[in-house]
Amino acid sequence: MLKRKKVKPITLGDVTIIDDSKLRKAITAASLGNAMEWFDFGVYGFVAYALGKVFFPDANPSVQMIAALGTFSVPFLIRPLGGLFFGMLGDKYGRQKILSITIIIMSISTFCIGLIPSYATIGIWAPILLLLCKMAQGFSVGGEYTGASIFVAEYSPDRKRGFMGSWLDFGSIAGFVLGAGLVVLISTIVGENNFLEWGWRLPFFLALPLGIIGLYLRHALEETPAFQQHVEKMEQGDRQGLQDGPKVSFKEIATKHWRSLLVCVGMVISTNVTYYMLLTYMPSYLSHNLHYSEDHGVLIIIAIMVGMLFVQPIIGMLSDRFGRRPFILVGSVLLFLCAIPAFIMINSDVVALIFAGLLLLAVILNCFIGVMASSLPAMFPTHIRYSALASAFNISVLVAGLTPTLAAWLVEYTQDLMMPAYYLMVIAVIGLMTGITMKETANQPLKGATPAASDIQEAKEILREHHDNIEHKIEDIDAEIEALQEKRTRLVDQHPRINE
């Protein structure tokens, strides 16, 4: 007979009380790095037409735009490598150290884009150097978003993880707004000719001081409570061993956690394709395909993003109350039903309808990004969280990152301005399947971590709910045992020898 292992009951002392000041610092530092990542994406998306002329001057305007957006997409091939590399280091040495490294690489590579001479000056080396800088960005970003989302999730109380996590993508949108706004401001001040000559470089130079600020904030942070608990367990003789870190291969992760990996892939693809379609591709779509004024198109997108900033934390807060799954499901259904109407409005050549179509897509996008940062880290246990999430996330982003290039090519090849809408409808189906299959994680402790609360009163409530949940599970098991016992009695009654 197997000896039953004694399980220690969870007490009030096992509930982690999160320090508010540390939580605010963690969110600020993580969000700033994420803002810088998307600052570059915003700048790059809004100056794609200029980069096409500077680095691919011999091509026609359509090929210039596709080539510039292609340079945006190619670094996504590097992201999975960065994810694997930084993911393993993050699970071994901690989240804080890796996030300090990624923000250094990201800020320097973005700054260097502004230093690259034009094609007219150094020929083919200009686009090659641009590609190398973008690849360095891709490698660092491979560990950036996942590390930042894990950092915030592991620092957040269980009941506020959705609200706290939503500020990470608030940083993304804010970075986009800053990047796009800076492009408009500089273009307006220096004029179009000077902007093409040298003005496009200025936004990229801003990445260096932003990176220095982000590094300072991240370096001053302590490691997350969840990772500290993990280290303490290893120091107490956990089988993983502290010296070499967790020895978990990606094959083992894929075998044991394949369902979580698939849900992660589905969520990232549905979220990021919508993100890149709206915020990276649409400026070029408005100016190149609809011949809409570049300045007016950019201003509309900026106004949409400012509106998204207000909606983002509201979605996160509501997800703590109603769950993450409802927002994925509602967002997917709305994306499928509204993609065509949205693009009909965008193609109407009426400013109010263009704004309405973009706003509709933005609200749908908020449903996804409002819950992504809190949902993804909850899918994996602490000792593999960074490795598993970084791998799955960046493989998914590899697909999503092709969106601007593929959308531009599809429109050019088919001459059908509705192709982006059809593209989004396919993605909506993926999102719907993801929402159906994912498990609800709102208000629950992270896997492999003890419950976390904002204060002692909340800790007592969590502990009481935990014990009530155990009682309900025991009652369910008792009911199942009683039903099985009745079934056994009926079977025994049908057998003459057993019945004797």
SS3 438: coil
The domain ranges of the chain are 16-238+263-454, 460-499
Q: How far apart are CA 355 and CA 362, in angstroms?
A: 10
Helix segments in 47-124, DSSP class H: 48-55, 61-73, 79-93, 95-113, 119-122
Amino acid at 126: A
* Half-sphere exposure in the Cβ direction for 267 (13 Å, CA): 32
Specify the pLDDT at position 428.
Answer: 95
pLDDT in tens, the chain (500 residues): 445 556 566 777 677 788 788 888 888 888 887 787 778 767 776 777 677 777 777 666 666 666 666 666 677 778 778 877 887 787 777 777 888 888 888 888 888 888 888 777 887 787 788 888 888 888 887 777 888 888 888 888 888 899 998 998 888 888 878 887 888 888 888 887 888 788 888 888 888 888 888 788 777 777 776 676 666 665 555 444 444 444 556 666 777 878 888 999 999 999 989 988 887 788 778 877 787 776 677 778 788 888 889 999 999 999 999 999 999 999 999 999 999 999 999 988 888 898 899 999 999 999 999 999 899 888 888 778 888 888 888 788 878 878 888 888 888 888 888 999 999 999 999 999 999 999 898 888 888 777 888 878 888 887 887 777 778 888 889 898 998 998 888 888 877 777 65
Q: Give the whole-angstrom CA distance, residue 283 versus residue 288.
A: 8
Closest CA to 66 of 325, 417, 405: 405
Please state the separation of Cα 472 from the chain's center in Å. Answer: 35
What is the Cα–Cα distance from 147 to 138, expressed in whole angstroms? Answer: 14
- Residue 447's SS3 state is coil
Which residues does residue 452 pair with via DSSP β-bridges, in sequence order? Answer: 16
Distance, in Å, from the CA atom of 26 to the CA atom of 266, rounded to the nearest integer, reads 27
Q: Are 146 and 390 in contact (CB under 8 A)?
A: yes
Residue 413 Cα to chain centre, angstroms: 31
Q: Which of 413, 406, 441 is nearest to 427 (CA)?
A: 406
Per CATH, domain 16-238+263-454 is 3.30.450.80: no
Phi, psi of 116 (to 5 degrees): -70, 125
What does the pLDDT read at residue 424?
95
pLDDT of residue 291: 78
